[in-house]
Amino acid sequence: MDNTKARGSQSRPVNYFSELIRLRDEYREDTKDASPVINGEAIPLENNAMGLIRWYLHPSMKKIPIRTQLVWVQEISPGSRSGKLKSQGGQISIVLEGRGYTIIDGVRTDWKQFDALFHPLLPEGTVIQHFNSDPKEWAKLLCSEPNFVDSMGVDKGSGFEILEDSPDYKP
């Protein structure tokens, strides 16, 4: 088995056990001052192709104590919708505020405050889009999924594609 840094190079072999120790130390350094409390008021509202999102846990966030979940709040303006996403699925969304519906693989499911949506986990993935049916009030969904980014990649075996931008997206 070739364990050099670059195939065909004359570099020293990589010591993979030492790499684990290095990764452990890096993680410990990244999280040594991490707070177990995330101040929601301090989280910026991100504008992206899926719409308006506040990220609480994300694989790129280093100064947090755990990285096992992705957690975000999707905010949908009155009468608007999220982007349409093809992904692995396996998410949970809890309606914090508002009323609307979600279309998953062409099937509509209506929701209201305190409802929970369970997005199917399918080998071929799912296509999902949230809609705020209230013309005056915002909708907010607390969303979470396991962080499989490092173990499976962002595609997670089924793809990760924006099929339609949210109308709230302002590039």
Using the structure block, give the residue that is written with the tokens 């590039």. Answer: 171
* Sequence-distant (≥ 6) Cβ neighbours of residue 44 within 8 angstroms: 54
As a whole number of angstroms, the longest Cα–Cα distance in the chain is 65
Q: Strand pairing of 69-76 and 51-57?
A: antiparallel
Question: In degrees rounded to 5, what are phi and psi of residue 158?
Answer: -130, -5
d(CA 83, CA 157): 21
The string of DSSP letters for 105-143 reads TTEEEEEETT-EEE--EEEEEEEEEEEE--SSS-EEEEE
- Total Cβ atoms within 10 A of residue 59: 13
d(CA 117, CA 142): 10
Q: List pLDDT tens digits, range 83-110.
A: 999 998 889 999 999 999 999 999 999 9
Q: Write down the pLDDT at residue 5.
A: 55
* Sequence-distant (≥ 6) Cβ neighbours of residue 7 within 8 angstroms: none
Q: Write down the pLDDT at residue 12.
A: 84
Between 140 and 31, where is the model more confident? 140
Q: List pLDDT tens digits, range 103-119.
A: 999 999 999 999 999 99
Q: Write down the pLDDT at residue 10.
A: 67
Which class in CATH covers the domain with range 40-164? Answer: mainly beta
d(CA 101, CA 81): 9
Question: In degrees rounded to 5, what are phi and psi of residue 25?
Answer: -65, -40
